[in-house]
Amino acid sequence: MTSIIILTVIIVLIIFFISCIRIVPQAHVFVVERVGSFHAEWQTGIHFLLPFTDRIAGKISIKEKVVDFKPQPVITKDNVTMQIDTVVFYQITDAKQYTYGVENPLQAIENLSATTLRNIIGELELDATLTSRDVINSKITATLDQAPDRWGIKVNRVELKNILPPREIQDAMEKQMKAERERREKILQAEGDKKSQILVAEGEKESQILRAQAKKESAILEAEAEKQAMILRADAAREKKILEATGEAEAIALVQQALAESLVKLNNSSPNEQVLKLKALEAFGKAADGKATKIIIPSEIQGLAGLATSLAETSGKADM
């Protein structure tokens, strides 16, 4: 019986000892109080909790967190009320200050972001608000990065999720956007027509230039061809005259050569006076065939010429 009691007590002590062991996971910090006051911040690892005196006041995650706050009503500089909701990215950097610094840290950040947002939007007009998201985000982040330091919270960035102007403003903006799109469409169409007309005019200009160049080149080619033809005709005429002159010269040379040969042969045959006179008469007949209007007959061949005339008349009568 005693052994059973001792074993039971040992088991109870073991269980109690194990229950006093705490394991802090990665990216977490435990805030420990001893006798109701802050004692330590436990980092990742195994820790022993003293029974009856120590208590874990908070288990803090040091990972970056994202919280989406509900839309806040804000008024712009030109008195336009709109709804803006924000997304805050924050991280706990000091577990002790986070635990003891503020009662409700998330509500404090939400209220701080809302008041900061109202101050920033109150300095901007509607158009600037809709087109200055980056500026607004930077200003809110800079403000929230300083105030929550005493709470152990670091705000990494703030983003505007939605900007919702009133319905009548949205309708007016839609009409304005529609009018702007129509204006841009007309401008683009006008620019397109202008470019089209310019291209057509440039094409016509290029066409006229090409036609003029083609006509000019054609005239040049025709002139060149006519020039070449005239040159060829002149060369042909010159060649013809040269050939004719050459032929006449060769013919005259041949006649002279034949005449010289006949004289040589006549001289070699020792002709008498009558033969010479007959030859003279033949030469005189050839001379008479020319264009001379007057012919002087030498006295030596006058008798021979009269004899030839008598013979010709006698031959004519005999034929009759």
Domain boundary among 112, 130, 165: 165
Q: What's the mean pLDDT when you consider all of the chain? A: 80
What pLDDT digit, counting tens, does each position of 126-175 carry?
A: 888 888 888 888 888 888 877 777 888 888 888 888 888 888 877 877 88
Confidence label for 282 from pLDDT (cuts 50, 70 and 90): low
Exposure on the CB side of residue 155, measured as CA atoms within 13 A: 29
38 contact partners, CB below 8 Å, separation of at least 6: 31, 32, 57, 96, 100
More confident residue, 171 or 260: 171
Is the pLDDT confidence value at 309 over 60?
no
71 and 114 inside one domain: yes
Mean pLDDT, rounded, for 84-104: 88
Amino acid letter at 106? L
More confident residue, 295 or 193: 193
Give how many domains the chain has, as a whole number.
2
Amino acid letter at 30? F
Alpha-carbon gap, residue 200 to 50, rounded angstroms:
95
Alpha-carbon gap, residue 99 to 201, rounded angstroms:
80
pLDDT recorded at residue 32: 93
Which tokens go with 179? 């009018």
71 and 161 inside one domain: yes
pLDDT recorded at residue 3: 79
Residue 129 lies in a domain: yes
DSSP label at residue 101: S
Residue 2 lies in a domain: no
- The pTM for the full model equals 0.51
Domain boundary among 103, 131, 165: 165
Contact 93, 153 (CB under 8 A): yes
Confidence label for 43 from pLDDT (cuts 50, 70 and 90): very high
Look up the CATH number of the domain holding residue 123: 3.30.479.30
- Among the ranges given (84-88, 89-93, 305-309), the one the predictor scored with the smallest mean pLDDT: 305-309
Residue 100 lies in a domain: yes
Domain coverage including residue 105: 65-165
- Among the ranges given (57-71, 103-117, 302-316), the one the predictor scored with the smallest mean pLDDT: 302-316
Domain boundary among 60, 84, 115: 60
Contact 114, 143 (CB under 8 A): no
Tell which residue, 73, 142, 155, 74, has the closest CA to residue 108. Answer: 155
